[in-house]
Structure 1
Amino acid sequence: MNLSPIPLAIRTACPYCGVGCGVLATPVGDGAVIIAGDDAHPANRGRLCVKGSALGDTLSLDGRLLHPSVREDGALRQVSWDAALDKIAGGFRDIIAEHGPDAVALYVSGQLLTEDYYVANKLMKGYIGSANIDTNSRLCMSSAVAGHKRAFGEDLVPGCYDDFEQADMVVLVGSNTAWCHPILFQRISAIKEARPEFKVVVIDPRRTATCELADLHLPVKPGTDVWLFNGLLSYLARNGKVDAGFVAAHTSGFDGALDVAEHDCADPLAVAKACRVEPEALLDFYRSFAATTKVVTAFSQGVNQSSAGTDKVNAIINCHLLTGRIGKPGMGPFSLTGQPNAMGGREVGGLSNMLAAHMDLDNPLHRETVQGFWQAPRIADKPGLKAVDLFRDIEAGKVKAVWIVATNPLVSLPDANQVQRALEKCELVVVSDIVAGTDTNAFADVLLPALGWGEKDGTVTNSERCISRQRAFLPAPGEARADWKALCQVAQRMGFDGFDFDGPHQIFDEHARLSAYRNTPAAAPRAFSIGGLRGLTARQYDELEPVQWPVSPGGAGTARLFADGGFAHRDGRARFIATATRAPVHMPDAEYPLVLNTGRVRDQWHTMTRTGKAARLSGHVSESFIDMHPQDALKFGVREGELARVSSQWGAMVARVQHGGGIARGGVFIPIHWNGQTASDARVGTVVNPAVDPISGEPEFKHTPVTIERFGVSWHGFILSRSDLPLDGVAHWTRIQGQQFTRYEMAGRGAIPDHGAWARALLGVADAHADWLDYADRSGAVYRAVHIVNERIEQCVFISPRSDLPSRAWLESLFAKDELSQLDRVGLLSGQAAEKGVDVGPTVCSCFGVGRNTICDAIRANRLTTAAEITACVKAGGNCGSCVPELKQLLAQTRAAEALA
């Protein structure tokens, strides 16, 4: 009997948000991989969100960068690794020799593994001798880092995920947790279901999906978080909620912080007015916080991405220090990290103002410690350039070479047109990436093929300080190499010792040894230590189980910090930080009267180089959008469903207007994900202002003054095609990956004189005898055509002067058929099925591919009244639960529609 071996599941970690879920990846042949949650991982206990569940759909090699290349005479030419590395090393060496070490820089990413990050930091700070290495984590979490360091003396998150379950109240500040940290949100939802008295407060200018779980939503005016928490600090002090023993024994600076808070935030009515919330709602929050001992305050980008982000973080921490609610089960401030390894990057000094192992650049003892341990020829002695300043200095010609690793700054940074000018001017731009075509790669002089998720081997650290192994389960494609290896090979070519690592386990061991080096009570100990993981063999490293740092000499992790004080300042005390209220740097005016807020959508990640490949992730939100209040839309002459241009003094972009119901007047929201490969003009980074927090350097992504105007077009349309198409000459387009097809949403200007000839040329159908069905209403300028090959739909195009074109869902379903039926052909040119109930509608549940029409039909037919009943009937919401808030909205909308019928 010939039995096939049972495929082995590889335990690894998800590459998306900072929750840090464990993943089981099982290769099953022909490049296919089965993805499941790891029941044994403490972060997710077997659950995965829709993005994590779809990881297997993102592993194809289409679009992958597989070989090194060098730009010559304006064109990229494939070269050997030796040639590419020689060019990088020679270029860096020559520029340093002529202009000094600060004339070169690295710009890296929270997508890197800790081992990659460690080598990059060692090369830049210890051997080149400049601190010009920064990371895209600067854009999302650096205000939390700065706030932690000011309050605690070190970048420390005090609590753990179990605290959410042990709390009696969770406050979510500037975090759409339901969409951005879905598995953690599901843990919170489960607590709420088990303990209805458990209170959830959401503080966010928008009404997001997260608010569907909230007992209280405070829709604060953007930028007023310091007012809110200074007011809370004053309220707690005035109502006898000071933990006097904790404050006296373990903190300093209380009186100064309280004096500043009371200066303009002592009166809750004044705070409510400043924050633009109802006074009774504000007092409800204050009373609940005061009355509840076990409170976790979790905050994310809505707090950090601000020109006052660090003060916002410290205003939150102040309230927990005042009440002694820190480091104990069920309580504490909690920073929800945006990227999978933003924490790991911080451990090794990935930010330009840090040293490895949580040591400080401005501390001579720390500099001497790191240099001595590395036996480095030099050590950076001053902070390097933070992200926004780095690209300004590149444009100014002060930085002449930059190596960009695993990030796409031309899309993700603010004032993106300035970033483009910088890259155009830079003498040497090196990019390491897994994708060949990105906005940034278009300006690369050297392109290096990197390993992607599934191919990389190393560690990551999540938001609760938990180190997990990310293990490879796929071979390296083409000539792709690990980022740490490329960095080491350049370092060796530059003549540097100390980079002869044979594998990531050796790098991890050096990282662990440095964390413990001179880290003793006599030397003002650092809380960050993984000294208990020193000396792991390659096999022990491969078998490493998730563990929270600090790690004891015996290898045990630490769930919580600061229960008994012991803060990282030299005196062991935490610091209250006086946080004066102040307005954002740029305020709305007559020319730019609206405030732009940016953020993520549920099923996409960063600039979509990975999630954009998964068809099931494109159905929920297919295009970029401008969410705004209907009264603002009326005022500015734009209409829901139509295109509009949003402009600031830095740039402009185009997207489709929608009224999601969660935006107050005066504001607009636009997602961050779309780029030059997925849309013609939807990069929101071109609009975002480059103001930064003066301490953290984090940009103001949540508050840019903008205006909006109609983007006039003559016609709207969409194409579904099995092959990719060039859309030159179309005024606006968005590219969406489907299952066995590509979808293009588009709009154009000017009349089309001959729709048939135009459509055939656009779709590349030159054969006059092709199976081509079309319909034209010349008076109404409506045109529809379908191209059929061997009884199978190949392409279709629908054009109309109106934007309300037929549903795409049914037409998309036809691409899964090997042969069209007669009924299919009947419905083709109308864009709708001849049979009732076949069109499932836009995707709501991406995990199971359940559409809106299916859900609404089930609600009506079965008289469903709860989200759980919908799950039982059609499966929607039964996996990650991210769509449950939307299911609740559909229930309410369907019931309301029936009541009016």
Structure 2
Amino acid sequence: MTVRSTCPYCGVGCGVLLTATVAGLEVKGDPDHPANFGRLCSKGLALGETVGHEGRLAAPMVNGKEAAWDEALQLVADRFTHTIAEHGPDSVAFYLSGQMLTEDYYVANKLAKGFMGTANIDTNSRLCMASTVAGHKRAFGTDTVPGTYEDLELADTIVLVGSNLAWCHPVLHQRILAAKAARPHLKLVVIDPRRTATCDAADLHLPLAPGSDVALFNHLLTQIDEQGALDAGYVAAHVDGYPEALRCARASDVSLTELDGHQLRAFVNIWLRSEKTVTIFSQGVNQSTSGADKVNAILNCHLATGRIGTPGCGPFSVTGQPNAMGGREVGGLSNMLACHLDLENPAHRHAVRLFWDAPKMPEAAGLKAVDMFRAVGSGKIKALWIIHTNPAVSMPDADAVAAAIKGCDFTVVSDVTGRTDTAQLADVLLPASAWGEKDGTVTNSDRTISRQRAVLPSYEASRPDWAQLAEVGRRMGWHSAFDFANVAEIFREHAALSGIAGGLGRDFDISGHADLTDAQYDALDPFRWPYASQEGGRFFADGGFFTKSGRASMLALTPLPMAQPTNSDFPFRLNTGRTRDQWHTMTRTAKSARLSAHLAEPFIEIHPADATATGTTDASLVQVTSGTGTAILRALITDRVRKGEIFAPIHWTGETAPSGRIDVVIPAAVDPVSGQPESKGAAVALAPYAANWYAFAISRRPINPQSAYWARVRTDAGWRCELAGAQAPQDWESYARDMLGVGDLPAQTIQDLHGGSFRAAFIGDDGVEAAVFVAPRPVSLMRDYLAELPDDMLSGRAPIGRPDPGPVLCACFKVGVNTILRAVEADGLSSVEQIGEALQAGTNCGSCRPELRALLGAGVIREAAE
């Protein structure tokens, strides 16, 4: 039977068709889902490869030992009850995740704020979307996304700000490219300090200085006024604050952007000459100490021109997680209540308390994520429950966060695995049902609520998050409030509360679905809120803002300097982000060999001039240091980054590459309005890592490396690992046997004592079981060929007649660089389309198309060096 569900990755919210088979899980795009119409990115396409049981928690764990659910949940209930009784409700906290379903989120929020009486409940959405929430609320009165995905097809101009959409939201990017192909006059502008894959199709790329977004959009606002683009009628009828915002904009210095006059004029001309403009913004805007101001600078321009809420017009925040919006809707952030009600509003607080029949409600906002973990570290928070997130890796100043969790009196972690950096610090581990096993709803970036449905049985003793939370609530004495029979019952309660919120003038209202039967909930089709009586569309075309006055607020904004200025000790600006085929801390995506094949280890992009100045060579290892920590990463020398700036991805953990945990380098500086950390502007120093040896290992068995630097990923045959260290082992063969777990298997070895190289292949009954290649410099080998563990290992190269596919470029169809280059040369391929026809590369999600075009543009046909 095929089940309709929703992808668990980014905020696009793609529909998927899931079929459980004898071989596993078959995943296809849902052609009827309004977010993707059948398209999936490389990650979504590989979902069936990530649902295996390896590493899953099979039972609750208490202090490292397996326990029964009754014992574990009673302990959690007792410790939270005792802590609140002895130290008050603010001594406990919850840290949640956009990986939770809305119903799970709702129960957690109800338990914490309504019954435990603490507002110390925050979410990893604080790390990605809090600045948007703050900006929306300051301008609109509520956290409202005005537009819809359909606006992308209807716009004349689309501006992408701080968003590598081609890699981070590939299906949306493909919708834009399809619209551009159908309507060639559509202009695409990308605003980003770094030249990303998204720039490939742009009509204009503005490589502005990091942090200067407010200066740029203040300049645009002045030009809106000077060039007669102001919609005076809309502003007069619906907007406050325009004169003050314009006065402040005129006082701004646009030279802070470091863009030249031609670039600025081109941007202004494109923006002002288009009747229909959509501005998409994401983490490059949000993850800043002035993130909320950046959001409002964008909103100011749309409000001034009336380009909001009409087809093809509006500011559009794209979320990073599958249910970041759902978490915001149920009050997952520490300053909110469910249904977009405000915790510090007495009328809102009273309405929710009455609806829940809650014994107590906090009257002030709780601690936001960074402050929450500081309070854990100081001992103020004594009991902590973390659900489906890995803050020991993902939070800024990650080592300090890990130390705080480790030192907490009592920490509970609910997750699908006990292997994460955070889970290994917990007192109690609760096994959670995974995606594909659990039921509920999620909300995507354009307010579309979709069902996630179970297609697989829950693994062993795992339970859904809502069931864990509700049982603890009952054991703490609030039986009737948490006596939920199923997720449909939770959804109905949430929908009913949203009707009360609608009556209080809030935007979020899905009360039209409050009376769904269980069967109707099971069959629920995707719908966009608000849904009081019928499905809603866009907001604010005719005003109707959710402020007290009913009018929008434009803010007077002054560009602020970066929180962490560079200096002689830390002269480089560090930007962070995602890679194309990985997700967050890789708990799911690292299970797929093809998703790990494109970029297999942590790296930094460094400008050629900076590489020369620091003595960095391509593929060497680089030590990145800030005032909070140090990471070791592989160097990728490229002019995609500006001089003086570097880029590193966020995904690697203590399980996959301990020295590549880039968030240990990020200071915990936050936006004073939103509390969102500045993850894209740390001041750092660079230095070559003084490795005396490098190694590459492959094995059918798990590899257990012991070295200063290592990065481990899956292959189709088993595992591969890059290693390096300052001190070489005395006996390479013994070191290799321990690392590869091959015991006394016979070995073929080659050693050059003078040159410092060593190679060994360990042979089992069915052929090569493992191999290692050691050299005093980065090892040049055909890695993708060797990862298959062929019999002729030790040469390090494929034999004549057996071509090496090279590093995977197209993860959707697992097409290697060398395969593409050979086809280009042999068949005279001259376009990305021809490559797609010949090899399928680039024909699914399209996120590899910029790299395909770069191969063609290089004009050099040769096999890729690794």
TM tier, smaller:
over 0.9
Deviations 1:782-818 (A, max 9, x none): 2212122234221111111110421201112346xxx
Q: How far apart, CA to CA, are the structure 2 residues paired with 1:756 and 1:100?
A: 58
The answer for the alignment partner of 1:4 in structure 2 is: none
- Mapping for residues 64-463 of structure 1, pairs under 5 Å: 64-71=56-63, 76-265=64-253, 271=254, 273-463=255-445
CA apart distance, 1:564: 1.0
Deviations 1:685-727 (A, max 9, x none): 1100111000100000010000011111111111100111322
The answer for the alignment partner of 1:684 in structure 2 is: 662
Decide whether the 8 Å contact of 2:699 with 2:789 is kept in 1. Answer: no
The answer for the alignment partner of 2:796 in structure 1 is: 831
Determine which of 487, 507, 510 is the counterpart of 1:530: 510
Q: Secondary structure at the match of 2:787?
A: helix
Q: 1:753 to 1:495 in 2, by over 3 A?
A: closer
Q: How far apart, CA to CA, are the structure 2 residues paired with 1:107 and 1:552?
A: 31
| 2:821 is the counterpart of 1:856 | yes
CA apart distance, 1:578: 1.2
CA apart distance, 1:835: 2.0
Deviations 1:592-642 (A, max 9, x none): 111111100000000000001101100101000011101111212222211
Decide whether the 8 Å contact of 2:96 with 2:121 is kept in 1. Answer: yes
Q: How far apart, CA to CA, are the structure 2 residues paired with 1:550 and 1:617?
A: 37
CA apart distance, 1:152: 0.6
Q: How far apart, CA to CA, are the structure 1 residues paired with 2:575 and 2:742?
A: 43
- Normalising by structure 2, we get a TM-score of 0.98
Deviations 1:117-170 (A, max 9, x none): 000000111111111100000000010000000111100000001100000110
Deviations 1:242-271 (A, max 9, x none): 000000001111111111111124xxxxx1
Whichever residue aligns with residue 568 of structure 1, its letter is F
The answer for the alignment partner of 2:626 in structure 1 is: 648
Q: Secondary structure at the match of 2:289?
A: coil
Determine which of 787, 790, 808 is the counterpart of 2:765: 790
Whichever residue aligns with residue 860 of structure 1, its letter is E
Gaps of 5+ in 1: 1-7, 266-270
Deviations 1:375-395 (A, max 9, x none): 111111100000000000111
| 2:20 is the counterpart of 1:24 | no
Q: How far apart, CA to CA, are the structure 1 residues paired with 2:358 and 2:742?
A: 63
Q: Secondary structure at the match of 1:745?
A: strand
| 2:29 is the counterpart of 1:51 | no
Whichever residue aligns with residue 855 of structure 1, its letter is I
Decide whether the 8 Å contact of 1:641 with 1:804 is kept in 2. Answer: no
Q: 1:761 to 1:388 in 2, by over 3 A?
A: closer
Q: How far apart, CA to CA, are the structure 1 residues paired with 2:742 and 2:348?
A: 67
Decide whether the 8 Å contact of 1:798 with 1:805 is kept in 2. Answer: no
Q: Secondary structure at the match of 1:735?
A: strand
- Percent of residue pairs identical: 52
Deviations 1:653-694 (A, max 9, x none): 111111133100111111000000001311111100111000
The answer for the alignment partner of 1:780 in structure 2 is: 755
Decide whether the 8 Å contact of 2:40 with 2:171 is kept in 1. Answer: yes
CA apart distance, 1:338: 0.5
The answer for the alignment partner of 1:506 in structure 2 is: 489
Q: Secondary structure at the match of 2:774?
A: strand
- Mapping for residues 599-748 of structure 1, pairs under 5 Å: 599-728=577-706, 730-748=707-725
Decide whether the 8 Å contact of 1:23 with 1:37 is kept in 2. Answer: yes
Q: How far apart, CA to CA, are the structure 2 residues paired with 1:481 and 1:752?
A: 46
CA apart distance, 1:200: 0.4
Q: How far apart, CA to CA, are the structure 1 residues paired with 2:802 and 2:676?
A: 49
Pairwise CA RMSD of aligned residues? 1.3
Whichever residue aligns with residue 716 of structure 1, its letter is Y
Decide whether the 8 Å contact of 2:239 with 2:554 is kept in 1. Answer: yes
Gaps of 5+ in 2: none
CA apart distance, 1:401: 0.7
Q: Secondary structure at the match of 1:507?
A: helix
The answer for the alignment partner of 1:268 in structure 2 is: none
Q: How far apart, CA to CA, are the structure 1 residues paired with 2:789 and 2:66?
A: 40
The answer for the alignment partner of 1:888 in structure 2 is: 853
Q: How far apart, CA to CA, are the structure 2 residues paired with 1:386 and 1:463?
A: 22
Q: How far apart, CA to CA, are the structure 2 residues paired with 1:336 and 1:216?
A: 21
Decide whether the 8 Å contact of 1:860 with 1:894 is kept in 2. Answer: no
Determine which of 542, 554, 557 is the counterpart of 1:576: 554
Decide whether the 8 Å contact of 1:430 with 1:446 is kept in 2. Answer: yes
Q: How far apart, CA to CA, are the structure 1 residues paired with 2:475 and 2:500?
A: 28
Deviations 1:352-410 (A, max 9, x none): 00011110112110000100111111111100000000000111111111100010000
- Mapping for residues 577-596 of structure 1, pairs under 5 Å: 577-596=555-574
Deviations 1:317-362 (A, max 9, x none): 0000000000000010000001000000001000000011110112
Q: How far apart, CA to CA, are the structure 1 residues paired with 2:720 and 2:687?
A: 26
CA apart distance, 1:761: 4.2
The answer for the alignment partner of 2:2 in structure 1 is: 9
Q: 1:782 to 1:441 in 2, by over 3 A?
A: same
Whichever residue aligns with residue 436 of structure 1, its letter is G
Q: Secondary structure at the match of 1:264?
A: coil
Q: How far apart, CA to CA, are the structure 2 residues paired with 1:275 and 1:502?
A: 55
Q: Secondary structure at the match of 1:681?
A: helix
Decide whether the 8 Å contact of 1:856 with 1:894 is kept in 2. Answer: no
Q: Secondary structure at the match of 2:417?
A: coil
Q: How far apart, CA to CA, are the structure 2 residues paired with 1:439 and 1:750?
A: 26
Q: How far apart, CA to CA, are the structure 2 residues paired with 1:635 and 1:519?
A: 60
Decide whether the 8 Å contact of 1:859 with 1:894 is kept in 2. Answer: no
The answer for the alignment partner of 1:469 in structure 2 is: 451
Decide whether the 8 Å contact of 2:659 with 2:708 is kept in 1. Answer: no
The answer for the alignment partner of 1:546 in structure 2 is: 526
Q: How far apart, CA to CA, are the structure 2 residues paired with 1:149 and 1:262?
A: 25
Deviations 1:12-68 (A, max 9, x none): 0000000000000100125x0100000010000001000000000000000001110
Q: Secondary structure at the match of 1:739?
A: coil
Q: 1:356 to 1:791 in 2, by over 3 A?
A: closer
Q: 1:224 to 1:616 in 2, by over 3 A?
A: same
Whichever residue aligns with residue 518 of structure 2, its letter is A
Whichever residue aligns with residue 773 of structure 1, its letter is Q
Decide whether the 8 Å contact of 2:717 with 2:789 is kept in 1. Answer: no
Deviations 1:83-132 (A, max 9, x none): 11111111111111111100000000000000000000001111111111
Decide whether the 8 Å contact of 2:249 with 2:557 is kept in 1. Answer: yes
The answer for the alignment partner of 1:40 in structure 2 is: 32
- Normalising by structure 1, we get a TM-score of 0.94
Q: Secondary structure at the match of 1:519?
A: helix
Deviations 1:762-781 (A, max 9, x none): 434443xx453222222211
Whichever residue aligns with residue 251 of structure 1, its letter is V
| 2:461 is the counterpart of 1:479 | yes
Q: Secondary structure at the match of 1:24?
A: strand
Whichever residue aligns with residue 743 of structure 1, its letter is R
Q: How far apart, CA to CA, are the structure 1 residues paired with 2:742 and 2:324?
A: 48
The answer for the alignment partner of 2:774 in structure 1 is: 799
Deviations 1:713-759 (A, max 9, x none): 1111111001113223x221111111121111101223444434443
Deviations 1:561-611 (A, max 9, x none): 111111111221111011111101111011111111110000000000000
Q: How far apart, CA to CA, are the structure 2 residues paired with 1:750 and 1:16?
A: 40
Q: Secondary structure at the match of 1:716?
A: strand
Decide whether the 8 Å contact of 1:717 with 1:805 is kept in 2. Answer: no
